[in-house]
Amino acid sequence: MMTQPAFPFALTVEPADGLIDEPRRIAISGLSPDQLVAISAHTLRAGGVTWMSQATFMADADGVIDLTRDAPVGGDYAEVSAMGLLWSQQPVDSTSNDLFADTVMQPLETTLTAETADGVRFEAELRQHFAGPGVERREIREEGLVGTLFTPAGAGPHPVVVVLNGSGGGINEPRAALLASRGYQAFALAYFKAPGLSPFITETPLEYLETGLRWAHRELAPRDGFVAVSGQSRGGELALLLGATFPDLVSAVIAFVPGAMVHGAQGAGDPARGGWKGTTWTRGGVPLPHLWQDNNAVHWHPWAGEAPPTRHHSVFFEGLKDTVLVERARIPVETIAGPVLLISGRDDRAWPSSLYSRMVVSTLREHGHPHLVRHLDFDDAGHAINLPIVPSTQLSRLHPVSRVPYTNGGTPSGNARGNDGSWAGMLAFLDEITGTAGAARPGFNP
């Protein structure tokens, strides 16, 4: 899959095929010393949208450019980063924020094009897979549950991770598929904005999630009974809440950019049922107290246009000043009966996930939590910590439910480091607590 001129230039990608979390070596050889070459990366992502980046490099004295060691001399990123051409991509003629493929069972395909100053062009292909060989995908529509199950290759039983999305709703298939590719049976469970479920997060019953946890224990035969819950943003809040509410069903909690307390429905709320101040979670039909419930310290509305999107996170600091309400809305994390991993960005502009994570760590320490507690807090990373080696350039966006603009924060480079570090840190955490540390992982062998 390579086009070369008649002289000995070579653009290579090693490996050309691999899982999306696998770094690659991109190199050019056969150049003249100090020769300049521009490299562009075009990737077809969801909805047929092309994402692109470009950077220019100077060859060394041996006529070699190696992205694992060489920073660009100009372009869309400005540091040594083997995968900089992928994380620095932006959508072409589109406002799309969809980073993945239309189906996780197909790889993302990137065309790398190198061009010299005199117009010589040569290409190579790079493919990123979510699902490794042998990973099976099955839609789950049982007992009112809406989700997708990904099962690793090879004989089980496997530890199970229930994967929850954030306030965008839907089913987080990419993360679940990649977890299965790394040896974990992953159940991506929707709780709103999916077929047969409410389009809004408002008044989501915890009993629905309890059903999902019990189904996972009963139907998936988890190894050693291990069922972890992993969630992002509102899903991170929910993961902590489920661990605290159903400690006998949750073996470990993995909370990406979470809240430390229950919040109102916010940008995912039903306008007819209280909007951003509406109830998010119920149990036994009773609303759980939340931070926007007659908060005495908050006198402005961050989601109605009165304040710039970059100030959304400020309202959370205001909300915390109502200490009586904070105590009522606090998630009682001390009742979690297993290990806890917290992942946050220090420049989170959507809400203060770094502070919230520290509050959780402090509470668990105060109560002598007997299990592993780990907090990964990333410099220059914002709210949108994602899978590794995907574009990290979308710092501001429209909320997928309310369509109100908000800012994730971070820098593209910082977010990329947060993506890579959080994924590696999560796998290390899971391996450690499930007793699989050091075990051979499933790989990708096309």
How many whole angstroms separate alpha carbon 255 and alpha carbon 265?
A: 18
pLDDT of residue 35 exceeding 70: yes
What percentage of the chain exceeds 90 in pLDDT?
85
Contacts of 63 (CB under 8 A, 6+ apart): 29, 30, 31, 32, 33, 35
159: left (phi over 0), alpha (psi -120 to 50) or beta: beta
pLDDT of residue 146 exceeding 70: yes
When pLDDT is averaged across residues 269-280 and rounded to a whole number, the result is: 93
Structure tokens at 199: 């389009």
All CATH 2.60.40.2240 domain ranges of the chain, comma separated, are 10-129
Residue 7 has a pLDDT of 52
pLDDT of residue 74 exceeding 90: yes
Query: Does the annotation mark 348 as catalytic?
Result: yes
pTM of the predicted protein model: 0.95
More confident residue, 428 or 309: 428
Query: Does the annotation mark 383 as catalytic?
Result: yes
A 10 A CB-CB count for 196 gives: 9
Structure tokens at 205: 């019953």
How many whole angstroms separate alpha carbon 78 and alpha carbon 71?
A: 6
Structure-token match 């229950």, residue found: 262
Residue 392 has a pLDDT of 97
Query: Does the annotation mark 21 as catalytic?
Result: no
**Which tens digit of pLDDT belongs to each residue from 211-247?**
999 999 999 999 999 999 999 999 999 999 999 999 9
Q: What is the DSSP letter of 261?
A: B
What percentage of the chain exceeds 70 in pLDDT?
94
Q: What is the DSSP letter of 280?
A: -
Among the listed residues 22, 10, 399, the one whose alpha carbon sits nearest the alpha carbon of residue 233: 399
Residue 402 has a pLDDT of 80
When pLDDT is averaged across residues 283-289 and rounded to a whole number, the result is: 98
Question: Catalytic residue among 21, 76, 348, 431, which?
Answer: 348
Least confident range of 1-5, 33-37, 310-314, 355-359? 1-5
CATH numeric code, 10-129 = 2.60.40.2240
358 burial level (CB within 10 Å; 0-12, 13-18, 19+): middle
When pLDDT is averaged across residues 394-402 and rounded to a whole number, the result is: 84
Among the listed residues 135, 131, 149, 132, the one whose alpha carbon sits nearest the alpha carbon of residue 219: 149
Residue 131 has a pLDDT of 97
How many whole angstroms separate alpha carbon 239 and alpha carbon 39?
A: 41
Residue 309 has a pLDDT of 67
How many whole angstroms separate alpha carbon 131 and alpha carbon 173?
A: 10
All CATH 3.40.50.1820 domain ranges of the chain, comma separated, are 136-434
**Which tens digit of pLDDT belongs to each residue from 249-271?**
999 999 999 999 999 999 899 99
143: left (phi over 0), alpha (psi -120 to 50) or beta: left
For helices 234-245 and 206-219, the axis angle rounded to 10 degrees is: 70
How many whole angstroms separate alpha carbon 340 and alpha carbon 150?
A: 23
**Which tens digit of pLDDT belongs to each residue from 341-372?**
999 999 999 999 999 999 999 999 999 999 99
Residue 1 has a pLDDT of 38
| Mean pLDDT for all residues in the chain | 93
Residue 9 has a pLDDT of 85
Assigned fold of 136-434 = Rossmann fold (3.40.50)
One-letter amino acid of 95: T
Between strands 36-45 and 49-58, the pairing is antiparallel
Residue 401 has a pLDDT of 84
Structure tokens at 13: 């990608």
How many whole angstroms separate alpha carbon 163 and alpha carbon 173?
A: 8
Residue 97 has a pLDDT of 86
When pLDDT is averaged across residues 315-344 and rounded to a whole number, the result is: 96
Question: Catalytic residue among 40, 81, 181, 233, which?
Answer: 233
**Which tens digit of pLDDT belongs to each residue from 158-216?**
999 999 999 999 999 999 999 999 999 999 999 999 999 999 999 999 999 999 999 99
When pLDDT is averaged across residues 413-436 and rounded to a whole number, the result is: 96
**Which tens digit of pLDDT belongs to each residue from 41-50?**
999 999 999 9
Question: Catalytic residue among 312, 313, 383, 399, which?
Answer: 383
When pLDDT is averaged across residues 80-108 and rounded to a whole number, the result is: 94
